[in-house]
Amino acid sequence: MSYFFPNATRKELRQKTVDDFERHTQVINDIQERMALEVVETIPLWKDLFSIRIITPFNDWEFDDWRDVYVKHGWNEVKGEPKLRRIINIEASDLAKGKFKEEFVHDKRSDKWTEFTKEIDGVSYKRNFLDDKQKFWSYHVANSNKKSFQKRQYLIRDSSYDLDCLEYFTTIYLHEAFLIMLGVSIDDMDRSEFSSWMIGGVFLDKQYDLPDWFKNNFTDFKEWKILKRRFGEGDKVSKVSIEDGKVEFDTIEIDTKEFIEWALKNGFIEKDTTHFRDGRKAPYEESFSKMLHKELLAHYLIKEGKHHHEWVWNTTVGNGFNSFNYLGRLLALNMVPMKYWLPLDRNSVSWENLEHYIVGVKNPKNQVSMPNNARVIEDIVKKLMEEHDKRPLTEYKDELKKEKEDG
């Protein structure tokens, strides 16, 4: 049995999730811009300091690298003040919850650190290593958060409406069920893009006030809380490895059948509605549409995808929109599939029927020129006539021949 997001609500739910991530992206973008402005306004040598590579918050700038920049530009070197060092203790099991302990101790390294002063255009500047480093690291994190949220937003927007995962796996993880509740299919999802969000939330400096609706962590979503309350008491706690084994976090395994039963009951998913779109059932019987899909795939007329997916027309060299038009004309001319055409009193092209399955073609009825791959399409129609409809090829009608007969 196949499962899908409910046809009646899936677009609205998907758009709601995309809009939510877009709002978060905008907040982070605004903060990143403010941080960038602060760097430019307070650190005159910011361009040169950008050349010092940032790797991690605990392994990035070295004092000597920073000092070389200021010495090179002729700043006055003065004795520095003692600095405190923040130590963070965090357990892997608490990482997803955002829990950690921190304390501040004297940083012995600062005993050897100097500071730099200079007057520029009547403004006196005094810069120290840790302050410069903190500002650049904050900007770096904000910029990384912005890019990550944008990627997640695009992944959500472009994900399919199919839920093959519910067929393939006997169990799913709690965080996968969470994405399903947001209207996001985990099929073919690049989960690495969600990894930092899943293990640590959004790292933002406390000085920046966030809106009340801002969700710093996926556990802030009501959907997560619903799932945790319903399935969180399970005894199947597993460690999930992401980022090529660099990071592990605890999650809960859910029996797929149990989740399906619950999700169906609450309207989060529905049973197989293959090619049920815009309130319309599939116009052709499944035996025909499956054979048509197979032939179009075999000749690269549509992009790779399963039968119950939307079929994306493959607009490559030699296969344009006129190829789609020619396919529609030949199917109608030859009344293929016969079972569909027999009850009708005419065999004019129904673009709506083909577009029920195939997407990505603009104004198909206007693309009337003869395609370069006409022979390929003719062979497909002949095969459908012979193998699906069980009709002899003597009944096949050639479009040019018909025009001569009509003329």
- In 3D, which of 391, 400, 275 has the Cα closest to residue 337? 391
What is the distance between the alpha carbons of residues 115 and 67, in angstroms, rounded to a whole number?
8
pLDDT at 406: 53
- The rounded Cα 278 to chain-centroid distance in angstroms is 24
Domain boundaries, the chain: 286-406
Give the residue ranges of the chain where pLDDT is below 50.
56-57, 92-93, 95-96, 98, 240-247, 404
- In 3D, which of 193, 176, 192, 201 has the Cα closest to residue 24? 201
pLDDT at 245: 45
The sign of the torsion formed by the CA atoms of 19, 23, 24, 25 equals: positive
pTM: predicted TM-score of the whole model, two decimal places: 0.60
Q: Environment class of residue 345 by beta-carbon count within 10 Å: exposed (0-12), middle (13-18) or buried (19+)?
A: exposed
Token pair in block for residue 18: 């995309």
What is the distance between the alpha carbons of residues 82 and 104, in angstroms, rounded to a whole number?
13
Token pair in block for residue 81: 């003040």
What is the distance between the alpha carbons of residues 260 and 4, in angstroms, rounded to a whole number?
11
pLDDT at 82: 81
pLDDT at 158: 83
What is the distance between the alpha carbons of residues 310 and 355, in angstroms, rounded to a whole number?
9
Instruction: For residue 248, report the phi and psi dihedrals to the nearest 5 degrees.
Output: -125, 145
Q: What is the pLDDT of residues 333-383, one digit of tens each?
A: 999 998 888 776 666 788 888 888 898 888 888 888 899 999 999 999 999
Contacts of 220 (CB under 8 A, 6+ apart): none
| CB count in 10 Å sphere of residue 278 | 7
pLDDT at 273: 59
| CB count in 10 Å sphere of residue 316 | 12
Token pair in block for residue 150: 């944008």
Q: What is the pLDDT of residues 43-62, one digit of tens each?
A: 999 999 888 765 544 556 78
